Amino acid sequence: MKKIVVANRGEIALRVMRTAKKMGIKTVAVYSEADRNAPHVRFADEAILLGPPPSNQSYLLGDKIIEEAKKLNADGIHPGYGFLSENATFAEAVEKNGLVFIGPKSHAIRVMGSKLAAKDAVKDYNIPMVPGIDEAITDVAKAKQIAKEIGFPILIKASAGGGGKGMRVVEKEEDLESQMKRAISEATSAFGDGSVFIEKYVTSPRHIEIQVMADTHGNTVHFFERECSIQRRHQKVVEEAPSAVLTPELRAKMGEAACKVAKACDYVGAGTVEFLLDGDHNFYFLEMNTRLQVEHPVTELISGVDLVELQIKVARGEHLPFTQEDLSINGHAMELRVYAEDPLNDFLPSVGVLERYRLPVGEGIRVDNGFEEGMEVPIYYDPMLAKLITYGKTREEAIALMISAIADYQIEGVQTTLPFGAFVMQHEAFTTGNFDTHFVKHFYDTAIIKKSQEEEAKVAAMVALKKYLEDKNTIKLPQ
Ligand code: MV4
């Protein structure tokens, strides 16, 4: 592989291209009219203009990307995350055109894109799953019967759903019919597929996911877990590796289960198997994400591997260069997603120009960033500016480093999730590891952030006043 097209933008396009360059592979960026001056375009050896800013006229134009890739004699396409990364039809088209899709085969993408197909694929592999049904249900009477068997509360989920869309908790039998009808109509309009199914609702789960990597020779390994329980509206904000609560035994069991899930769909490349962990430390398979994930850096830091390099190697047909026994966890990594959103105003997008934008630097600090001072945050795409990642020998060290890195990260012009990150890192529930996916709902308190910002403003005002009084005595002002 001598040249690859990176079919993405922002920090992930840069992150993929960095590894490609390190491997001596030429890079081709794609960009929309909104991204003409974006760092990922300048970093690449060549670049392709796709079209106007909206994604469906630019970054989602799979056929155009393939056509231009062929004109430039590229060998492969890396899709990053989002956009075309989990589009089975695109993956297929890439391969049909004689290019390498740096990711799994379309079959695996398709199976895991449907929750019911995924459950069906893994059913002979002895993977723990939440009690429930494994087929689409439309009959309310049957649904009531099943709900009574598994016991309320239950959760109605859309088979084609993702990111919590189309999910409905049902506490009691009387509510089942209306909620089921709503879930079906929501799923039909959102995904064009009204299939829904029922699971027992796990009330206070932690979100634990396992990073896997499979080569084309039947070898599959896992790189341990990431914990992603700190999220709001199904959007992760803080991730870490390893989890504060897994024992080595549970880690090994979940890792084995994740590798079996990958085998069940003939997986190739980097993938993530998501589990719920309940209060008694039972784990249940939820779904598999068939792409490189946003939070992959925490895994890279604790395992010492470059996941993009491995993706490219297995895409070239190479063997995985190690076995499971060669892999171990070293240290602890923490990641904060820095979004241009206002944490004091319900995390609403905060648009504007980055009047000041300075990254923290230092040992144990990694920033996967897509922005520069003076740039505007485009309204067309995901508002994530960067990922702030810290690494220490222990969880305490990674947290302390995150707190100081947040303080050193200078952003003016837009509101960001940095203060939210500082709140999380200092909260007792987080530092003790005693939290679940309801952290934001249970503990997030904007008053604490407001108070600390007021204190900071007071200190700044006092420093300014002191300076003013000193200057007044030493400088002779003109009369
Ligand atoms: C669940 C659940 C509780 N019980 N399934 C949310 C998105 C999708 N990936 C699955 N999700 C959940 N499925 C059962 N049977 C709770 C969630 C859930 C959740 C999962 C992971 C991370 C954050 C979450 C926030 C709310 C609900």
CA–CA distance, 157 with 322 (Å, rounded to integer): 38
Ligand 1 center to residue 163 CA distance, Å? 9
Q: Is the CB of 303 under 6 A from ligand 1?
A: no
Q: Which atom of ligand 1 is closest in space to residue 287's alpha carbon?
A: 9
Confidence (pLDDT) at 452: 86
Residue type, 273: V
- Residue 429, C-beta contacts closer than 8 angstroms, at least 6 positions apart: 435, 439, 442, 443
User: Which run of H or E residues covers position 122?
Assistant: helix 115-122
What string of DSSP letters covers 356-374?
A: EEE---STTEEEEE---TT
Fold of the 131-200 domain = Dna Ligase; domain 1 (3.30.1490)
Domain ranges of the chain: 3-102, 131-200, 206-451
**Residue located nearest, by CA, to atom 20 of ligand 1:** 207
Q: Is the CB of 295 under 6 A from ligand 1?
A: no
Q: Is the CB of 437 under 6 A from ligand 1?
A: yes
In CATH, the architecture of 3-102 is: 3-Layer(aba) Sandwich (3.40)
**Residue located nearest, by CA, to atom 21 of ligand 1:** 207
Q: Is the CB of 234 under 6 A from ligand 1?
A: yes
Confidence (pLDDT) at 252: 98
CA–CA distance, 385 with 371 (Å, rounded to integer): 6
Q: Give pTM, 2 decimals.
A: 0.95
Q: Which residues of the chain have pLDDT under 70?
A: 477-479
Confidence (pLDDT) at 479: 61
**Residue located nearest, by CA, to atom 8 of ligand 1:** 164
Contact between 366 and 338 under an 8 Å Cβ cutoff? The reply is: no
Contact between 240 and 337 under an 8 Å Cβ cutoff? The reply is: no
Confidence (pLDDT) at 477: 65
Ligand 1 center to residue 204 CA distance, Å? 9
Mutational pocket test of ligand 1: of 286, 293, 294, the residue with most ligand atoms within 8 Å of the beta carbon: 286
Q: Is the CB of 438 under 6 A from ligand 1?
A: no
Q: Is the CB of 230 under 6 A from ligand 1?
A: no
Ligand 1 center to residue 95 CA distance, Å? 34
Please report the beta strands in 56-160, taking only residues with DSSP state E, as ranges in sequence order: 76-78, 100-101, 154-158
In CATH, the architecture of 206-451 is: 2-Layer Sandwich (3.30)
Confidence (pLDDT) at 396: 98
Catalytic residue among 168, 206, 291, 337: 291
Task: Establish whether 291 is a catalytic residue.
Answer: yes
Q: Is the CB of 286 under 6 A from ligand 1?
A: yes
Contact between 97 and 312 under an 8 Å Cβ cutoff? The reply is: no
**Residue located nearest, by CA, to atom 2 of ligand 1:** 202
